[in-house]
Structure 1
């Protein structure tokens, strides 16, 4: 019984102790939360007082402007009054003079009419009659011209527009976050044009575009806070902008900031990529038995020398029937396609500049290729070959060179099918390389990476695992072209 009580005591003691520890921890968290809430309340009080003071200041400025404008307009009204009264006074003086002359003439005429002596009447009345007749015939001589339009202007105080503006006064807040429109954004191999929209377009004074190379970091808050890595384009007035001088085949992260006097807000991040580096076939690297088109995008095997055998081994002594691209790639993610037409003997891949020119691509450690030898498809590197499953109707071969992530992949572009991926730790810049032993091929370069090969990050590990499994099945020295 005593042992049982001891166990109960220990159990209860430990339970109470653990619960007390949790309660103390919980109480500490609540105290921290309360302290934060109190701090926020204090900040709200400070901010509110600041905004109220600013409101009074702004309104006082408006009232002062209205007072000044009232005074200026009142002075103009008084000046107009003085000018018009001065003109009217002059007209009244002229009218008074005419009236006095007219009264004097009337008095003289009436006095002449009262003269009973015919001789005197004829002597004085003739002069008076001429003056009366002249004054009667020409009323302008007696009555001055009065211009009423000068006395009464069409003057009005119309403050309706200002009243509407004043009625629209409100508490200005930072604009809503803009939204980057991925579907409207465009790119070349060295530019990206970013488009965005804003719900508060009329309250935005300017936009600011920020961008950096995307390194795979998924924590955008942490990425955004790393200010040193960001390029900033300020004071953008329109809702689009073209960034120049970017790296080809590279993914970038973009933010757009909407700004007004109250503050700014950022858009959600957008990941946009430049297109692949465009290139053509370099005539200097082409075999003399190959014909290149004028645009250097198509190469054709001169089959006049082919008599009975179509086996490429027959031409091994004369060197490789190939050509290289006119670029060397040392960064970024690049995609190009090869239109294979009816060719059944070819090799497509990449090679270092140091790769031997007189042997097949893939026969050395400086080149990696996907090849077709009649009915066999294979990948080849450093003399090692491995068969690959592919359709005999393969007409469009996609090549994805992800230099920064050390991979070279091949795809059936028409069927969106992955064929093979090399894992390569590239040490030097590489050039696209092409070889044919019959028919012709055409190069399509400068393409964006298509969606079916632009795998999300979570799929990359699975692809790398598949590639490692494929690499383990290499058979050294397998002669697929025999």
Structure 2
């Protein structure tokens, strides 16, 4: 009579392992690469299309023919995986870059625009050693975040939130309220140096510490040079 019980116990343990694996997978964010066909000609992808490097136009192009999906005026590249639900966390290693933007954008945003300039993208910007949120060419300062080496982004689709995470302290330092109306993708822009993405990460680490700062936008003066904005 002990054999059926032992077999049942074994099956329960196996089932628990499967459930645990499924739960762990549910906590993981999207796994993505950068979509080369969207990259502006000044951007070069590397490390299996997980990193992006800025180069002078014509010197380090992506060697792709011009197409409708490629950004034409701004140094922008989008990821290849869209989000329509759930919570997702990824990180970005910053290498020798003093001017970049990271966030999410509508999959069909205009390729003549830049992330942060239109109202269909939501980004955090770093320039002149300062962080800001940026939406529809308006920005608000982000406090408590210094010179970046690695930063995290936590996307909560149903809650309509995008959070900037200080990886060194495992703390959310700013929350940007969004207005998603359809699929969005991770989005990146830079004007020097390199960015290296790390996706497929568990979002639980980004929520160990959290504070709820306000995010009230202020007017941003019009950028005179779209290829090198502040």
Instruction: Normalising by structure 1, report the TM-score.
Output: 0.40
Q: Secondary structure at the match of 1:206?
A: helix
Q: Distance in 2 between matches of 1:274 and 1:349?
A: 20
What does 1:416-435 align with in structure 2 at a 5 Å threshold?
Answer: 416-435=170-189
CA shift in 2, pair 1:401/1:359, >3 Å = same
What does 1:297-312 align with in structure 2 at a 5 Å threshold?
Answer: 297-303=50-56
Which structure features the higher share of helix residues? Answer: 1
TM-fit CA distance, 1:322: 1.5
Partner of 1:348: 102
Which structure features the higher share of strand residues? Answer: 2
Does structure 2 conserve the Cα–Cα contact (< 8 Å) formed by 1:385 and 1:478?
Answer: no
1:361 to 106, 115, 135: 115
Q: Secondary structure at the match of 2:53?
A: strand
Partner of 1:375: 129
Partner of 2:219: 476
Q: Secondary structure at the match of 2:115?
A: coil
CA shift in 2, pair 1:240/1:430, >3 Å = same
Q: Are 1:206 and 2:8 an aligned pair?
A: yes
Q: Distance in 2 between matches of 1:409 and 1:273?
A: 19
Does structure 2 conserve the Cα–Cα contact (< 8 Å) formed by 1:411 and 1:418?
Answer: yes
- Deviation string, structure 1 residues 240-273 (Cα, Å, up to 9, x no partner): 5325996xxxxx5xxxxxxxxxxxxxxxxxx984
Does structure 1 conserve the Cα–Cα contact (< 8 Å) formed by 2:145 and 2:173?
Answer: no
Does structure 2 conserve the Cα–Cα contact (< 8 Å) formed by 1:398 and 1:410?
Answer: yes
TM-fit CA distance, 1:393: 2.5
CA shift in 2, pair 1:304/1:382, >3 Å = closer
Q: Distance in 1 between matches of 2:119 and 2:172?
A: 24
CA shift in 2, pair 1:294/1:237, >3 Å = closer
Q: Distance in 1 between matches of 2:105 and 2:37?
A: 16
1:395 to 149, 154, 175: 149
Partner of 1:241: 17
Partner of 2:33: 280
Q: Secondary structure at the match of 1:362?
A: coil
Instruction: Normalising by structure 2, report the TM-score.
Output: 0.79
CA shift in 2, pair 1:372/1:291, >3 Å = same
Query: Radius of gyration: which is bigger?
Result: 1
2:163 to 398, 409, 426: 409
CA shift in 2, pair 1:354/1:245, >3 Å = farther
Does structure 2 conserve the Cα–Cα contact (< 8 Å) formed by 1:377 and 1:390?
Answer: no
CA shift in 2, pair 1:392/1:237, >3 Å = closer
TM-fit CA distance, 1:416: 2.3
1:441 to 170, 192, 195: 195
Structure 2 residues without counterparts, runs of 5 or longer = 60-71, 224-228
- Deviation string, structure 1 residues 332-389 (Cα, Å, up to 9, x no partner): 1100000011100100000002322222211111000001113222110112111212
TM-fit CA distance, 1:427: 1.3
Does structure 1 conserve the Cα–Cα contact (< 8 Å) formed by 2:41 and 2:58?
Answer: no
Q: Distance in 1 between matches of 2:166 and 2:13?
A: 44
What does 1:27-46 align with in structure 2 at a 5 Å threshold?
Answer: none
1:330 to 84, 87, 94: 84
Q: Secondary structure at the match of 1:451?
A: helix
Does structure 1 conserve the Cα–Cα contact (< 8 Å) formed by 2:89 and 2:203?
Answer: yes
Structure with the greater relative contact order (CA < 8 A, sep ≥ 6): 1 or 2? 2
Over aligned residues, Cα RMSD in angstroms? 3.2
